[in-house]
């Protein structure tokens, strides 16, 4: 039997700390905790996750194809994806500070699942090769392309999954948006096992790095996709005093993952979920702004992230600004 070990890793120079439990690799544990390590494969192939171990002991989990030089070994370097912590550790490595630190990537993934989340909403689950994950920041998008019998199906889509798992990528599609790939999905022209090119990531719709301790997330319809990625990453980081999610549905099945939102609210003491419905994007946005301003007397220390149609976002930002929220506090992503 393998003895379960819980150790704590401190990352220099950022000072971030996270636990390593059981047989998670240091890389896996760090990604689950929201640490933005550099990596590309998680299998010891690329070497992008190598870091210098300053203090503590490692235990090897697997042998990879990448070979460190003798000098690197003497200096204490190791691959974070093929080792776990046998004691508390201090490691030195750089973390991504923003989108500018994430390299452009091209990967051929396969369709693992196409699932109907609601009558007019589909989930596309892509899986990358075992030796090549997509590194991205929560909230970013990827360009998906498929050139088969259906012609060019290229479309830019927000990633709806957590960056802690760069191999299993989720995307939400709404029937009414009518993009090339989305239309093909609803028409049954894309099937499980099909190859899909994934290029990116792109976009600056990422967690606010200003040091604000409270986060507010606002979504309209499938704007919940990138918001879901941000929420999951924020929960993993466990570094914020409170999280609030406001979700407007302008169609009957707009709250297509409401159970997930209620689960967050019930399991986390510092999480608030507010769902609303309004066929008008404008009046729905004004209602959310009014509700948020009523819920929080002081929003000065809040970072607000909003995603949805352009008209919804314009009305929302105007209403929040009119209520005293500084424009710099809100970052938005139009769909």
- Give pLDDT tens digits for 277-286: 999 999 999 9
Predicted pLDDT at 148: 58
Asked if 84 and 23 touch (Cβ cutoff 8 Å), the reply is yes
Output the CA–CA distances (angstroms, integers) from residue 132 to 95, 105, 135, 199, 253, in the order listed.
19, 10, 9, 13, 35
Q: Which one is predicted more confidently, 152 or 107?
A: 107
Res. 298 pLDDT band, cuts 50 70 90: confident
SS3 content of the chain, % helix, strand, coil (to 5): 25, 35, 40
Model confidence at 158: pLDDT above 60: yes
Going by C-alpha positions, the residue among 119, 228, 126 that lies closest to residue 176 is 119
In the chain, what are the domains? Answer: 6-95 (3.10.20.30), 100-202 (2.40.30.10), 214-334 (3.40.50.80)
CB neighbour list of residue 266: distance below 8 Å, 6 or more residues apart: none
Predicted pLDDT at 2: 47
Res. 151 pLDDT band, cuts 50 70 90: low
Q: Mean pLDDT across the stretch 77-88?
A: 95
| Cα 165 to Cα 33: distance, rounded to the nearest angstrom | 12
Quote the crossing angle between the two packed helices 281-295 and 310-322, to the nearest 10°: 40
Model confidence at 205: pLDDT above 50: yes
By percentage, how much of the chain surpasses pLDDT 90?
Answer: 84
Model confidence at 156: pLDDT above 80: yes
Q: Which one is predicted more confidently, 109 or 63?
A: 109
User: pLDDT per residue over 22-31, tens digit each?
Assistant: 889 999 999 9
Tell me which residue has tokens 């290029």. 199
pLDDT, averaged across the chain: 93
Res. 310 pLDDT band, cuts 50 70 90: very high
**Pairing verdict, β 271-277 and 155-158:** unpaired
Model confidence at 251: pLDDT above 50: yes
Output the CA–CA distances (angstroms, integers) from residue 314 to 127, 138, 256, 281, 290, in the order listed.
35, 23, 24, 10, 15
Peptide bond before 201: cis, by omega within 30 degrees of 0? Answer: yes
Res. 1 pLDDT band, cuts 50 70 90: very low
The CA-CA-CA angle for residues 212, 218, 222, to 5°, reads 140
Model confidence at 210: pLDDT above 80: no
Asked if 28 and 18 touch (Cβ cutoff 8 Å), the reply is no
Tally of CB atoms within 10 A around 141:
22
Q: Mean pLDDT across the stretch 187-214?
A: 92
Predicted pLDDT at 60: 94
User: pLDDT per residue over 315-331, tens digit each?
Assistant: 999 999 999 999 999 99
Quote the pTM value: 0.91
């Amino acid at each position: 039997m393998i003895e379960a070990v819980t150790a704590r890793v401190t990352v220099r120079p950022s000072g971030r700390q996270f636990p390593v439990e059981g047989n998670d690799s240091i890389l896996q544990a760090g990604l689950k905790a929201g640490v933005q390590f550099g990596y590309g494969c998680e299998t010891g192939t690329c070497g992008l996750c190598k870091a210098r171990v300053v203090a503590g002991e490692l235990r090897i989990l697997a042998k990879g194809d990448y070979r460190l030089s003798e000098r690197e070994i003497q200096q204490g370097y190791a691959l974070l994806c093929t080792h776990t912590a046998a004691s508390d550790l201090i490691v030195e490595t750089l973390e991504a500070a923003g989108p500018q630190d994430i390299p452009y990537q091209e990967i051929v993934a396969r369709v693992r699942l196409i699932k109907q989340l609601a009558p007019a909403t589909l989930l596309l689950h892509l899986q990358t090769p075992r030796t090549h994950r997509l590194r991205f920041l929560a909230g970013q998008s990827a360009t998906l392309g498929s050139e088969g019998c259906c012609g060019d199906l290229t479309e830019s889509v927000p990633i709806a999954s957590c960056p802690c798992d760069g191999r299993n990528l989720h995307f939400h599609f709404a029937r009414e948006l009518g993009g090339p790939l989305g239309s093909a999905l609803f028409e049954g022209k894309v099937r499980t096992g099909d190859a899909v090119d994934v290029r990116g990531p792109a976009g600056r719709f990422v967690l606010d790095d200003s040091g604000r301790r409270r986060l507010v997330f606002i979504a309209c319809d499938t704007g919940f996709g990138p918001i879901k990625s941000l929420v999951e990453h924020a929960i993993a980081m466990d570094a914020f005093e409170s999280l609030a999610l406001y979700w407007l549905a302008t169609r009957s099945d707009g709250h297509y993952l409401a159970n997930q939102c209620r689960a967050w609210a019930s399991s986390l003491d510092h999480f608030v979920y507010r769902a609303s419905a309004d066929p008008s994007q404008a009046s729905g946005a004004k209602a959310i702004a009014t509700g948020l301003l009523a819920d929080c007397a002081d929003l000065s220390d809040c970072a607000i992230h909003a995603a949805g149609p352009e008209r919804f976002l314009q009305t929302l930002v105007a209403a929040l600004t009119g209520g005293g929220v500084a424009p710099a506090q809100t970052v938005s992503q139009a769909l």
